[in-house]
Chain A
């Protein structure tokens, strides 16, 4: 039978063939119980969480949870409305105030997810006749923001300053351009050479720069603002987009900026206007968490220690990793093909370690990988256990000797 679903037949067959080899479905895991930011029960087995983006371990912070419970009692379960109608509560403004303080900006706008923040910003500020210039390895939300908007879209090779410079030089000088970069690229965990990129962009007229710091917030830079702060290009970045679903530990998205006309976006940005706002409990947890992240120096230091230790340990065992050194809290273990990757993923799960499996087209250049993301709450013992289990799984599957 042919119908609208026929276009998915090849994917359905590929997935079935994989499951027929006896492996578990890597995209159908259920967390039956979650004990802490680093431990869950999956099919009855205590499992160390090493694939959650919960970088700062804020999901179970007592102050964060107390703030959420209080807001749930005081303001109810949801707003049932758009930010521009009945959906802006005191808590949404308090959350935007916390963001302005955290980032030191004049403006902050909270979206219902990080995906919507990119969708909204890119599709709204780059219009017909304008250009969006983006890295080829950009997150899906950036590509989808381009798809929703009417601007011309130009890609450059991943993290290539020369490629970016050349492409900007070929665009009409008088056209308005939005260059979209990410601080940390989430598949390989590599960071962008932002100072070199900013210098290249500033050679060309009429360019604004948006940086997505989804994977950098909380532990890069003196104030934890992201890679752009760590690398000292704060003055050159026009818009920072981020999420509450990683270091902040809840859900939601935002954009901060000093642009004098920024507030007009609340009227013209469709992914902001035409959706319900975040529940009061969520913005209360986010605001509390963001304020705590301003003073999280010890946690940051422990997260970096964990990331460097896992990177060095895996490398020593003979695994091929996505970066030469630990550039972020993401460590990507590169594997040769889908079958090996799924077998390795399953072996780790059976030993009690959960990581993410990633495959094309989400990954660059047709690569298969297991993505590990560290947490500031992973204890030294847990990192030791993770390393032991990687060795056992790698030897069982035959990808290390």
Chain B
């Protein structure tokens, strides 16, 4: 697995507890549209991702992240 595939797998794992509708996850799966998360779910999920990867995803960055693929890219970048 490449680093990115590994990050995708970890992100997917972190999504599972919040994936109440059992949606199949792909690069283009969107948090608001497909997963139907509200702002409180997003808050809990972001905190979980931050702790998993030991990073900070500021609210400014969160506003730009709409899909799983974009999140994986952001995590890759933030881990440096």
Contact = CB atoms under 8 A, between A and B. Distances in A.
14 contacts: A131-B58, A146-B59, A152-B58, A154-B56, A155-B43, A155-B47, A156-B47, A157-B47, A163-B47, A170-B54, A170-B56, A360-B38, A366-B38, A366-B40
A27 B55 CA distance: 41
Interface of A: 131, 136, 146, 152-157, 163, 166-167, 170-171, 360-361, 364-366
A153 B59 contact: yes
B50 interface: yes
Given A157-B47, A166-B51, A171 B40 contact: no
B54 A154 contact: no
A154 B47 contact: no
B2 interface: no
A167 B47 CA distance: 10
B3 interface: no
A361 B59 contact: no
Nearest to A153: B59
A170 B50 CA distance: 10
A366 B50 CA distance: 22
Nearest to A136: B43
A154 B54 CA distance: 14
Nearest to B46: A155
A166 B40 CA distance: 20
A175 to B, nearest CB: 11
B40 A153 contact: no
A153 B60 contact: yes
The 10 closest A-B pairs by CB, nearest first: A153-B59, A152-B58, A170-B56, A136-B43, A154-B58, A152-B60, A154-B56, A153-B58, A157-B47, A365-B40
B1 to A, nearest CB: 26
A140 to B, nearest CB: 12
B63 to A, nearest CB: 10
Given A136-B43, A152-B60, A154-B56, 10 more contacts: A131-B58, A152-B58, A152-B59, A155-B43, A155-B46, A155-B47, A155-B59, A166-B51, A170-B54, A366-B40
Given A157-B47, A166-B51, A167-B50, A360 B59 contact: no
Contacts of A153: 58-60
A163 B54 CA distance: 12
B58 to A, nearest CB: 4
Interface in B41-66: 43, 46-47, 50-51, 54-56, 58-60
A84 B40 CA distance: 40
A166 B50 CA distance: 10
Contacts of A163: 47
Interface string B15-59: 000000000000000000000001110010011001100111011
B2 to A, nearest CB: 25
Contacts of B47: 155-157, 163
Contacts of A154: 56, 58-59
A361 B40 contact: yes
Contacts of A157: 47
B56 A171 contact: yes
Nearest to A146: B59
A154 B47 CA distance: 10
Contacts of A365: 40
**Most chain B CB within a 10 A radius of its CB, from A155, A167, A365, A366:** A155
